[in-house]
């Protein structure tokens, strides 16, 4: 076989030394470049996977937070609507109370006005009665040719009763 290799122009010793040199370069490159490069690539791949997992978790948490936010918004809207509804009910009740108080005050004012009117009417009738008594006294005095001071109250009242009977 040595002849075959020599006819082909291959030197076995040179081939063997080149093989040893190749293995030495391969070993050096493997230990100093390939393995650290693989280590760096694996670390980078792990960081990327960790980042992707973190992004997925962040998306999940973001979705959860968004759901919680929507739920809190709904709850706050419901609470606001219930507060508004309660305020409207209270306002309606208060409106009814105010109207009833106003009606009571109006009734009281009408009663007071009626009492004042009745009091004025009584005063007016009293004045009218006094004037009528004075006129009747003067008329009786002229009729009987007496002095008006001598006509007593009983005579006046009897004359007023007679006039009232004639009017009825």
Q: What is the pLDDT of residues 29-57, one digit of tens each?
A: 999 999 999 999 999 999 999 999 999 99
What pLDDT, on a 0 to 100 scale, did the predictor assign at position 142?
Answer: 65
Containing structural domain, residue 109 = 2-167
Mean of pLDDT values over 67-85 = 95
Contact between 151 and 140 (Cβ < 8 Å): yes
Contact between 136 and 156 (Cβ < 8 Å): yes
Position with higher pLDDT, 4 vs 79:
79
Q: Is the pTM of this model over 0.85?
A: no
What pLDDT, on a 0 to 100 scale, did the predictor assign at position 80?
Answer: 95
Q: Give the end-to-end CA distance of the chain in Å, rounded to a whole number.
A: 173
Counted domains in the chain:
1
Q: What is the pLDDT of residues 136-145, one digit of tens each?
A: 777 766 666 5
Query: Nearest Cα to 156, choosing from 127, 135, 142?
Result: 135
């Amino acid at each position: 076989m040595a002849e075959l290799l020599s006819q082909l122009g291959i030197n076995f010793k040179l081939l063997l030394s080149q093989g040893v040199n190749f293995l030495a370069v391969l070993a050096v490159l493997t230990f100093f470049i390939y393995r650290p490069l693989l280590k760096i690539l694996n670390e980078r791949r792990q960081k990327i996977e960790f980042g992707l997992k973190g992004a997925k978790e962040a998306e999940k948490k973001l979705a959860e937070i968004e759901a919680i936010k929507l739920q809190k918004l709904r709850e706050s809207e419901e609470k606001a609507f219930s507060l508004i509804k309660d305020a409207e009910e209270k306002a309606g009740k208060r409106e009814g109370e105010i109207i009833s108080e106003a009606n009571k005050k109006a009734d009281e004012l009408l009663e007071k006005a009626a009492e004042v009117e009745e009091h004025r009417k009584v005063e007016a009738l009293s004045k009218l009665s006094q004037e009528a008594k004075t006129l009747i006294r003067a008329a009786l005095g002229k009729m009987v040719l007496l002095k008006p001071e001598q006509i007593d109250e009983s005579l006046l009242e009897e004359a007023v009763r007679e006039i009232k009977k004639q009017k009825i």
